[in-house]
Amino acid sequence: MFRSVVKSASLFLLAFFVSALPARAVSLESLTDSEKQLRISIFNKVDPVLAKKKEKGTAPLFTYRQFYAPLNKKERAFLDEIRAVDPDKIEGASRPLPPPAPDTEFVPLGKQVTIRDGKSIKLDPQYLPRAVYDAYQAMMAAMEKEIGKRLLVESGYRSPAYQLYLFLFYMPKHDFSIRETNRHVALPGCSEHGSPARQAIDFITPGGINGEDHPEEFEALEEYRWLQRRAKSFGFYLSYPRGGKSAFEPWHWHYEQ
């Protein structure tokens, strides 16, 4: 009886101390093999959910509740670890930004068509906060009047949950490193795309030039030179100039009221 009580007490103390240990933090340098498998299982469950939202044209408004709903405890915990990464410990694009106010009006941009692999394709539906939408339309009207060209919105507002999805999606391209991925894709809650107070727009030409893989192609555009001269007068600023801490993104501009 005495031995049984001692054993039970020992197990209780062990469980207490284990539970008191701080939660394991995901490595900034590279995901483990088990984390890579978790990432795959998350996409297998979430992709069908997101596909339905893309069909409805509402993917950029994806919520955390919708993201977490089909996942198990381990998968949710892994997402929590990514969300808990301290951006101040990483050199790159991520700095916390204010989320949208509950009453923010998001305006759909409507049908946009560009060229990819020689074929006309429709861009995924995009949204902008009302003030940013109005400023963008005014800027494009001025660009068309002055140089006869316009730029389309390849990516406008996207929720923090959708930003988390994209961060995970692009990790293989950067050797599954949070640190390196963060140089190109901001952490959720840190992206200008998810903060109307500093709302970002990723531009693309009707001919399909967006500069993502070759920034110099977008940098060489007449439209880019026009933005450098005139965008400020409409409230838009280049977010990641050449020579900064983050990768040069000539297509990425943000709005400030």
**pLDDT digits 0-9 by tens, 44-73:** 999 999 999 999 999 999 999 999 999 999
Is 15 among the domain residues? no
Classified as helix, coil or strand, 133 is helix
What's the CATH code of the domain at 84?
A: 3.30.1380.10
Is 220 among the domain residues? yes
Rounded Cα distance, 10 and 6, in Å: 6
Long-range contacts of 218-224 (CB under 8 A, 24+ apart): 218/250, 218/251, 219/248, 219/250, 222/147, 222/149, 223/143, 223/147, 223/149, 223/151, 224/250
Is 229 among the domain residues? yes
Q: What's the pLDDT score for residue 21? A: 36
Q: Give the Cβ contact number of residue 40 at 10 Å.
A: 10
- The rounded radius of gyration (Å) of the Cα atoms in the chain is 22
Is 13 among the domain residues? no
12, pLDDT greater than 70? no
Show Cβ contacts of residue 199 under 8 Å, excluding neighbours closer than 6 positions: 128, 129, 132, 156, 157, 192, 193, 254, 255
Q: Please, which pLDDT band fits residue 239 given cuts at 50, 70 and 90? A: very high
Residue in this structure with the two tokens 């709903």, named with its chain if needed: 69
Is 113 among the domain residues? yes
Is 5 among the domain residues? no
Question: What is the mean pLDDT of the segment spanning 156-184?
Answer: 95
Count of domains forming the chain: 1
Looking at per-residue confidence, does 121 or 8 come out higher? 121
Residue 116: give the domain boundaries: 24-255
Question: What is the mean pLDDT of the segment spanning 24-50?
Answer: 94
DSSP state, 7?
H
**pLDDT digits 0-9 by tens, 144-169:** 999 999 999 999 999 999 999 999 99
Q: What's the pLDDT score for residue 31? A: 96
Is 3 among the domain residues? no
Is 61 among the domain residues? yes
